[in-house]
Structure 1
Amino acid sequence: MDAELSPSVRKPCSRDWTDRAIAALEADQHRSADTHLFKLDSPALAGIDIYLKDESTHPTGSLKHRLARSLFLYALCNGHIRQDTPVIEASSGSTAVSEAYFARMIGVPFYAVMPRSTSAEKVAAIEHHGGTCHFIDDGRTLYAEAEALARKVGGHYMDQFTFAERATDWRGNNNIAESIFQQMGKEPHPVPAWMVMSAGTGGTSATLGRYLRYKRHATRLCVADVEHSAFFDGYRTADADCRCERPSLIEGIGRPRVEPSFVRGVIDGMVRVPDAASIAAMNVLSRRLGRRVGGSTGTNFFALCWLADAMRAKGEQGSLVTLICDSGERYLRTYYDAGWLAERGLDPVPYERRIEAVLAGERLECPLEEA
C-alpha cells in the first residue's frame, strides 16, 4: 500500500469539506418525516394495545437508515472519514444499502464486503446507491476481509458491529426511543409495558434499553433472538465468547458471535424464536397490514404476541411496541417462496394458526426458551 494512502499518515483535509459533509447528512434528516407508529387492531386483546413503528419507510427502506446516518456522523466527527476516504463495511444487508446511500451523498467511495451467496436483490440495491460489492467465499472471514480491504485501499472500516451501540445518542436527539415515546404520548397506555426488538448489531436494543433507564420509564425491554445465533446463549450465560457455527436464516439479525455492540446489561429479558415461527408471524402481520414485511419483523412480532399472551393470562393491561424493520419485497425469493422454505424444512403454517389464535383471544400454547 502506498504511504500516501495510509490513514495514519494522510494529511488532514480541510475542515470545510467535513463541515459540508455533516451539513448534508443533517439536511437529509431534516427533510425526512418521522416514521409512522401503527396501532394494530386486535379487539380480542382487550386492554392490551399493540403498536408497530414502521422503519421500512426510510429512504433506504429499513431501520438501518438511522444507524448508517449515525455511523457516518460518528466517523466524520472523529476524523475517520475525510475527503475521498473510501468507506468499507462488513455487510450484505440493509446496513450496506443505507451506508452506500450516505457515502454517495457526501461523495466518498463505498465498498460492501459480503458472501458470494448474497441475494441479487441486495446486491442490486447496494449498487443502485453507488456502492461496490466485494465478494468473499467464506462468510466466517467477513470481518477480517473488511479490515484487509480497508488497509488495501487506505479507507475507513466502519465496523457496525462494534460502533452501533455508541454512534447513536441514546439520551435523545430524536433517536428511535425518544420518537416512540413522543408518538405514544396521547395513547391510552403512553408508557409501554414492553418494547420488543431483535438483535443484529445490538445497537438498537442498546439505544432503547439505555433510554428507558435514563428516562426512568417502567417499560421493560425484551430482545428476541433467532435460531443459530450467539446472542441468546451469550445473554443467558453472561459469556461474551459464545459462538454459533451455523448462520441465521433470518437476515439482518442473529450473529455467529456476541458482537461488541450487544449491551447485555440494558436488557430485561430474552426469548429465542424458531425460524418457522418468525416466518409465520411475518405472514400473519403482512396479511393484517395488507403489505409484506420482512423476516426480522416476524421475529419481533412473534415475541410480542408471546408477551401479549402472557400479559392476558396474568390479567395485565398495557401497551406493547415493536418495529417493522424493513419491507418484505426484499425477500420474495426467500421467505415468500414456498420452494425456498421447503428446501430448508420450514413449515410456518402451524405457527400461523397459533398466532391467529392469540389475536383472536385464545392462548398461544407455544413455549419459548426465555432468559
Structure 2
Amino acid sequence: MTSLCRDRDWIDAAVQTIEADFNRSADTHLLRAPLAGAVALYVKDESTHPTGSLKHRLARSLFLYALCNGWIGPRTPIVEASSGSTAVSEAYFARLLGLRFIAVMPRSTSPEKVAQIGFHGGESHFVDSPGQVYAESARLAAELSGHYMDQFTYAERATDWRGNNNIAESIFSQMAQEPHPLPAWIVAGAGTGGTTATLGRFIRYHRAPTRLCLADPQASVFHRHVADRSLTALAGPSSLIEGIGRARCEPSFNPDLIDRAIAVPDAASIGAARVLSRRLGRSCGGSTGTNLWACAQVIETLAAENRSGSVVTLLCDSGERYGSTLGDDAWLAAAGVETAPYEAAMETFFDTGRFTPPL
C-alpha cells in the first residue's frame, strides 16, 4: 500500500471519528432569559459543548476542513494562534486524532484556559503581545513541518453556512415553537468573524427578516471597520475581554453582513456577565456580557417603538474560565475596572425591560 493510500485511509477514519464525536453530543440549549416587557430574550448556551465554549463548533469545522483539503496527515503537528478557547477545543480534537497540538497565545491568557489546553493534551507556547501570535504560529508550524490551522483566515469558509448543523440552523430550529419564531435581531461578538459570517449568510440565504448586531469591545477594530472600511487596524491597549474583538481586521470578518455594530466598554461587559450569571443561574464569561450589553440597547430600541418580538444572543463560555481574572474583584480593582454602575443598569433592564446606560 502506498503512503498516499495509507494517509487516505487515516483521513477517512479521522473524519469518521470527528463525526462520531458530534453524534454523541446533543445540541446546546436555547434558554429564555427572565426579562420583563414585550420583547423576549433568548440565550444560546454554548458552554455546554464538550470543551465548554462556542469555539467547539469552530474547531470541529476547522479540523474537518483541513482533513478534507488534505492538509493534515497521521503525523502532522497542529499549531494554532488563539486567545485560549479555540485552542482548548482544538486540543480536544487533536487528541481524538492522536496528533500533537501547540497553542500560540498571549501571556495574558487566563490560567484557567491554559490549564484546560493541558488537560486535553495540548501544549502552550506564549508570546508577549496578541499581535505576535500570527507570525509565531506560522514560524512554529514551518519549523515542525506541521499545519498552522489559522482560524482567523479559515473560520468563515470552514462552516457550511447554508445549514448542516451550524449555529444559525440550530437557533432557528429551536425558535420554531416560540411566540416570535423569527428573531428581530441576533446579537453576537466577533473574534475570527466566523460566527457572524455564518449567521449573516444563513439569514440571507433563508430570506429571514432577522437583523444581525455585532457586539464588540470598545478597544476592537471591528465596529470601527463596519463604520469606515478604511480602518483595518488599531494601536494601543487591547480589551480585557478574551475571545472577541481584535486589533486588526481579520480575513474571516465580513462587515457587509452586519446591520448594526455596538461598542461595549470592558466594565459593562463584565458587569453584564455578572448579572446574567445571577439571573440565569449559570456562570457567564466576559464575551457573553458584551453580547448582553448590546442586546439591551437593541431591545430598548424595539421597546421605544412599542414593538414586541424576540432577540437571540450567545452564552459563549463559562465565567469559570476567568475566575482568577474577570471573576476576581481584587484583579479588577488592580486593573481599574468598576462594574457596579453597569451591574445596576443591567438589573434595572431585567426588571423593567427598558435600558438606560449609566452616565
TM range (shorter): over 0.9
Deviations 1:330-366 (A, max 9, x none): 1111111111111121111111111122222264222
* Shift of residue 221, structure 1, vs aligned partner: 0.2
Q: Which of 17, 34, 40 lines up with 1:41 in the alignment?
A: 34
1:284 aligns with 2:275: yes
Structure 1 counterpart of 2:199, one-letter code: L
Distance 1:122 1:259, change over 3 A: same
> For the residues of structure 1 that align with 2:312 and 2:18, how far apart are their CA atoms?
28
1:31 aligns with 2:32: no
Tell me if the contact between 1:195 and 1:321 (Cα under 8 Å) persists in the aligned partners.
yes
Distance 1:237 1:144, change over 3 A: same
Deviations 1:19-73 (A, max 9, x none): 000000000001110001001122x31x211100100000000000000000000
1:251 aligns with 2:242: yes
Partner of 1:241: 232
> For the residues of structure 1 that align with 2:16 and 2:231, how far apart are their CA atoms?
38
Tell me if the contact between 1:13 and 1:82 (Cα under 8 Å) persists in the aligned partners.
no
Tell me if the contact between 1:59 and 1:65 (Cα under 8 Å) persists in the aligned partners.
yes
Partner of 1:100: 91
1:174 aligns with 2:165: yes
Tell me if the contact between 1:285 and 1:293 (Cα under 8 Å) persists in the aligned partners.
yes
Q: Which moved more, 1:351-360 or 1:325-334?
A: 351-360
Partner of 2:337: 346
* Shift of residue 140, structure 1, vs aligned partner: 2.5
Distance 1:353 1:367, change over 3 A: closer
Tell me if the contact between 2:110 and 2:325 (Cα under 8 Å) persists in the aligned partners.
no
**Equivalenced residues, count:** 357
Q: Which of 49, 55, 59 lines up with 1:64 in the alignment?
A: 55
> For the residues of structure 2 that align with 1:171 and 1:78, how far apart are their CA atoms?
20
Partner of 1:112: 103
1:18 aligns with 2:11: yes
1:359 aligns with 2:350: yes
> For the residues of structure 1 that align with 2:129 and 2:337, how far apart are their CA atoms?
25
> For the residues of structure 1 that align with 2:231 and 2:12, how far apart are their CA atoms?
38
Q: Which of 146, 157, 160 lines up with 2:151 in the alignment?
A: 160
Tell me if the contact between 2:345 and 2:356 (Cα under 8 Å) persists in the aligned partners.
yes
Structure 2, unpaired ranges of 5+: none
Deviations 1:214-238 (A, max 9, x none): 0000000000100211111111101
* Shift of residue 367, structure 1, vs aligned partner: 8.6
Question: Any idea what SS the aligned residue of 1:38 has?
Answer: strand
Q: Which of 134, 137, 145 lines up with 2:136 in the alignment?
A: 145
Structure 1 counterpart of 2:123, one-letter code: T
Deviations 1:283-327 (A, max 9, x none): 110111123110000000111111111111110110000010001
Q: Which of 268, 284, 291 lines up with 1:300 in the alignment?
A: 291
* TM-score when normalising by structure 2: 0.96
Moved over 3 A (4+): 10-13
Structure 2 counterpart of 1:272, one-letter code: A
* TM-score when normalising by structure 1: 0.93
Question: Any idea what SS the aligned residue of 1:52 has?
Answer: strand
Identical aligned residues as a percent: 59
Structure 1 counterpart of 2:65, one-letter code: Y
* Shift of residue 119, structure 1, vs aligned partner: 2.7
> For the residues of structure 2 that align with 1:207 and 1:342, how far apart are their CA atoms?
37
> For the residues of structure 2 that align with 1:146 and 1:58, how far apart are their CA atoms?
26
Question: Any idea what SS the aligned residue of 1:114 has?
Answer: strand
Structure 2 counterpart of 1:341, one-letter code: L
